[in-house]
A and B are shown apart, each in its own frame.
Chain A
């Protein structure tokens, strides 16, 4: 089976750092993606990890541990516009397509 878990909701303040965790159990693994989705808009790609370690892209970083089935998305210097849902998706090793978690809704307050 496939199971991807994320916290449902998180809150943080402007300027702070927040870490959104994702754990997965899939029949195979072939890469992990993070997407951002603002209310009423399309999900947009943020990051991709296929090897263990940290990928940094500006204020956003994503980490992967394949042995632990674990990833996190780190958002630094939070801005109000970062309020959105963050979706973790695993590319299934057998099916080779993306399977999504339920998403984490992040609310950034002043």
Chain B
């Protein structure tokens, strides 16, 4: 139990569906992250919410849309995905310092997404 909970653990969706991934952290951290993990590739940072500011990786397609209503909850909204988007999506949280420097990351178990 890492203090970071993700739902659902597994999701299968068609290319025309709209779904959302949810993440909740119980650690009192001030930063939350979405990472994508594909086979034989590095963990890819998709989005960061740190100190109330959103930072994003400009290479992430617009079919992925994050939402962070408060410091404990993070969503990833998915629409019109492609089969190559099938991957493990990991949420993480950290306590960043006042300069936005990331502390140690605590990861959730991940949401395994399959796009048909």
Q: A residues within 8 Å of B by Cβ?
A: 4, 8, 30, 33, 35, 41-45, 48, 87, 89, 91, 95-103
Contacts and interface: CB of A to CB of B under 8 A. Distances in A.
Interface residues of B, number: 25
28 contacts: A4-B42, A41-B109, A42-B4, A42-B108, A42-B109, A42-B110, A44-B2, A45-B104, A45-B106, A48-B104, A89-B43, A89-B105, A91-B101, A91-B102, A96-B96, A96-B99, A96-B100, A96-B101, A97-B48, A97-B55, A98-B102, A99-B45, A100-B35, A100-B42, A101-B42, A102-B40, A102-B42, A103-B43
B63 to A, nearest CB: 23
Residue of B2, B4, B33, B102 with most partner-chain A CB within 10 A: B102
A8 B107 CA distance: 22
Interface of B: 2, 4, 33, 35, 40-43, 45, 48, 50, 55, 90, 96, 99-102, 104-110
A98 B105 contact: yes
A83 B88 CA distance: 20
Which interface residue of B35, B45, B50, B105 has the most chain A CB atoms within 10 A? B105
Contacts of A97: 33, 45, 48, 50, 55, 102
Given A87-B43, A96-B99, A99-B45, 18 more contacts: A30-B101, A33-B104, A35-B105, A41-B109, A42-B2, A42-B108, A43-B43, A43-B107, A45-B106, A91-B101, A95-B55, A96-B102, A97-B33, A97-B102, A100-B42, A101-B42, A102-B41, A103-B43
Nearest to B101: A96
Contacts of A41: 109
B90 A43 contact: yes
Contacts of B107: 42-44
